A and B are shown apart, each in its own frame.
Chain A
Amino acid sequence: METIPKTSTALSSLLRADLVTQWRNRRSFILLLLVPIIILISWKGIIEKFGGPFALSTCITIGLVAIGLMGYSNTVARDREKGIFQRLRVAPMPAWCIMASRLLIQLMMIVLLTTTIFIAGNNIDHIKLSPSGYIISFLTAVVGGAVYLGLGQLIVGLIQNPETVNSTSRLTYFLFIMIGMFGELGVLGDQIKEIVLWSPYGTVKRIIAAGMQPGTWNQETTTALLLTIAYAAVFSFIGIKKFKWNNK
């Protein structure tokens, strides 16, 4: 009778390999961080007008969109095309380990992104939050990140070709950022502003902003949180259901 290796051992080996891969691709992660940092630096006027949490939550949301759409979906599409998943799936470990390792790495990226934005906000714009504000913001960033990881999963679930995944995720990223940012400010009209507020962009941004000032959390924020969880669940469910481990 063959002995099956421990799942924890297999998962930790995968995690180590995925971490090394992520580290060797650190340039692309730094590029993902650049957009929110540039926005933070160039938004002095907005910070004075709307407050620090508005700017920080916008930057974190943009970073989360980038991690889920540009980072996660493209890496999964590329590795699927190369047959890396198939090679791992023939090993004696549950298939969920492969994705669990990937998601844990993305979770680390979300924490790293949020920390970087907080440090930049503090050093450049002197935005300071209460300790509970920092803690709740980390939690809401993780919940918000799940929406965009789910959206990334949806894209790789529905689209097989890695180049099409790449262009679709870029287009979706651009649409989210442009319509989200300008729509929220009312530049695109009141109707768009209302849609954006309850879109995955708006709900994520709202819960992160409210998390930074726990005293401002109200019924609407709770509705936004529930909606955020619902978005994450729907995107992930369809993305996982439609996902194929290989391109053939």
Chain B
Amino acid sequence: MNTHNYILQVHGLNIYYGSFHAVRDVSFDVLPGEIFGLLGPNGAGKTSTLSAVEGLLKPQSGSIVVAGNDINKKPLHAKAAIGVQLQATSFQSELTVSEILQLYAGIYGMSMSREKIFSILKNIKLEESSGRKFGQLSGGQQQRLSLAIAVLHEPRLVLLDEPTSGLDPQSRRQLWERMESMREKGHSVLLTTHSMEEAEAVCDRIAIIDHGRVIATDTPQSLMDSNKTNPEVIAASRRGKITLEDVFIGLTGKAIRS
């Protein structure tokens, strides 16, 4: 297998928190220009998997290769290839929008002229907020800025951890369009989400994780097609027609997770 065909390869990942086995032998790959979704109930291991890919968490075993760079052997090279939007979007609330852009441009070794800052802010409809402090922005504006910073250095892989949670429908649609535009530019996207609508709307492939294990990986349509005769999926169906949510409930169960 040619490792450079994939932008991300996760193989045999295991993560423990004390004696709790949070991620169990998880493996998946992301192709260039692909939007790949990680779906799972609360506590399934999505964020732990993503944190390991981001280099925030050291797995007990398994390998993660980003753009040909092993995250353990060449962490800085791997990190240079990824752009990240964390679940809790936070920058220093005392800094203004343009100061935050300058900070991250500097961290990624880029020079940032006023014109460039204006163009980025115009693109995310924040051109009139360049002098506003981060803490004064609305949730949607913070999210847009966070995404702009995640792609500031044109990363080959963009990691988004539940990017649309708490957003209104307009902002959510706008974010989906941005993800699709990233895909058109050749960026790969790995996102975690609870929203089946989102997974169906933007993901090329998805992996369903439950109790730390990947229980299914395929395109949303193939998952629906291959599970249409599954009795648990049929039992979960509410409208006669099998949806991705029915497949998800059928495979992961109806019990509410913590």
Question: Does B106 touch A at the CB level, under 8 Å?
Answer: yes
A-facing residues in B53-74 (Cβ within 8 Å): 54-56, 67-69
Return the contact of B103 from the options A3, A5, A14, A86 (Cβ within 8 A): A14
Q: Is the CB of B56 within 8 A of A90?
A: yes
**Chain A residues in 8 Å Cβ range of B109:** 3-6, 9-10
A215 to chain B, nearest CB (A): 45
Q: Given the known A-B contacts A10-B107, A86-B86, are A21 and B80 also in contact in the complex, defined by CB atoms under 8 Å?
A: no
Q: Is the CB of B99 within 8 A of A92?
A: no
Question: Does A112 touch B at the CB level, under 8 Å?
Answer: no
Q: Is the CB of A84 within 8 A of B80?
A: no
Return the contact of A4 from the options B76, B84, B92, B104 (Cβ within 8 A): B76
Q: Is the CB of A83 within 8 A of B99?
A: no
Question: Does B16 touch A at the CB level, under 8 Å?
Answer: no
Chain A residue, CB-CB nearest to B105:
A13
User: Considering the chains assembled together, what is the distance between the CA atoms of A149 and B226 in angstroms?
Assistant: 60
Question: Does B222 touch A at the CB level, under 8 Å?
Answer: no
Question: Does B82 touch A at the CB level, under 8 Å?
Answer: yes
Q: Is the CB of B107 within 8 A of A21?
A: no
Q: Is the CB of A93 within 8 A of B76?
A: yes
B-facing residues in A83-99 (Cβ within 8 Å): 83-84, 86-94
Return the contact of A14 from the options B84, B89, B107 (Cβ within 8 A): B107
Question: Does A82 touch B at the CB level, under 8 Å?
Answer: yes
Chain A residue, CB-CB nearest to B88:
A83
Question: Does A191 touch B at the CB level, under 8 Å?
Answer: no
Chain A residue, CB-CB nearest to B55:
A90
Question: Does B93 touch A at the CB level, under 8 Å?
Answer: yes
Q: Is the CB of A89 within 8 A of B56?
A: yes
Q: Is the CB of A91 within 8 A of B99?
A: no
Q: Is the CB of B76 within 8 A of A21?
A: no
Q: Is the CB of A20 within 8 A of B95?
A: yes
B-facing residues in A219-236 (Cβ within 8 Å): none
**Chain B residues in 8 Å Cβ range of A10:** 106-107, 109
Q: Is the CB of A25 within 8 A of B94?
A: yes
A-B contacts counted at CB < 8 A amount to: 96
Bitwise interface map of B from 31 to 71 toward A, beta carbon under 8 Å scored 1, else 0: 00000000000000000000000111000000000011100
User: Considering the chains assembled together, what is the distance between the CA atoms of A25 and B92 in angstroms?
Assistant: 12
Q: Is the CB of A90 within 8 A of B108?
A: no
B-facing residues in A1-58 (Cβ within 8 Å): 1-6, 9-10, 12-14, 16-17, 20-21, 24-25
User: Considering the chains assembled together, what is the distance between the CA atoms of A117 and B109 in angstroms?
Assistant: 39
Question: Does A79 touch B at the CB level, under 8 Å?
Answer: yes
Q: Given the known A-B contacts A4-B77, A10-B109, are A87 and B99 also in contact in the complex, defined by CB atoms under 8 Å?
A: no
**Chain A residues in 8 Å Cβ range of B86:** 83, 86-87, 90
Return the contact of B55 from the options A2, A6, A21, A89 (Cβ within 8 A): A89
A-facing residues in B80-138 (Cβ within 8 Å): 80-82, 84, 86, 88-95, 99-100, 102-110
User: Considering the chains assembled together, what is the distance between the CA atoms of A3 and B68 in angstroms?
Assistant: 13
User: Considering the chains assembled together, what is the distance between the CA atoms of A20 and B106 in angstroms?
Assistant: 15
Q: Is the CB of B80 within 8 A of A92?
A: yes
Question: Does B183 touch A at the CB level, under 8 Å?
Answer: no
**Chain B residues in 8 Å Cβ range of A82:** 88, 90, 93
Chain B residue, CB-CB nearest to A5:
B109
**Chain A residues in 8 Å Cβ range of B76:** 4, 92-94
Q: Given the known A-B contacts A10-B109, A20-B99, A87-B86, are A2 and B92 also in contact in the complex, defined by CB atoms under 8 Å?
A: no
Q: Is the CB of A13 within 8 A of B107?
A: yes
Return the contact of B80 from the options A5, A9, A20 (Cβ within 8 A): A5
Q: Is the CB of A21 within 8 A of B90?
A: no
Q: Is the CB of B92 within 8 A of A84?
A: yes
Chain B residue, CB-CB nearest to A97:
B107
A-facing residues in B224-247 (Cβ within 8 Å): none
User: Considering the chains assembled together, what is the distance between the CA atoms of A1 and B68 in angstroms?
Assistant: 8
User: Considering the chains assembled together, what is the distance between the CA atoms of A153 and B109 in angstroms?
Assistant: 29
Q: Is the CB of B82 within 8 A of A17?
A: no
A17 to chain B, nearest CB (A): 4
Q: Is the CB of B69 within 8 A of A2?
A: yes
Chain A residue, CB-CB nearest to B150:
A90
**What residues make up the interface of A, taking CB atoms closer than 8 Å to B?**
1-6, 9-10, 12-14, 16-17, 20-21, 24-25, 79, 82-84, 86-94, 245-246
8 residue pairs of the A-B complex, CB under 8 angstroms, read A1-B77, A3-B80, A9-B109, A13-B107, A84-B91, A90-B86, A91-B79, A91-B108
- Could you list 13 further interchain pairs (A-B, Cβ under 8 angstroms) beyond the known A2-B78, A5-B110, A87-B84? A2-B77, A9-B109, A13-B107, A14-B103, A17-B92, A17-B100, A84-B91, A86-B86, A87-B90, A87-B91, A89-B56, A92-B77, A94-B76
5 closest Cβ pairs, A-B complex:
A13-B106, A5-B109, A2-B80, A92-B80, A92-B79
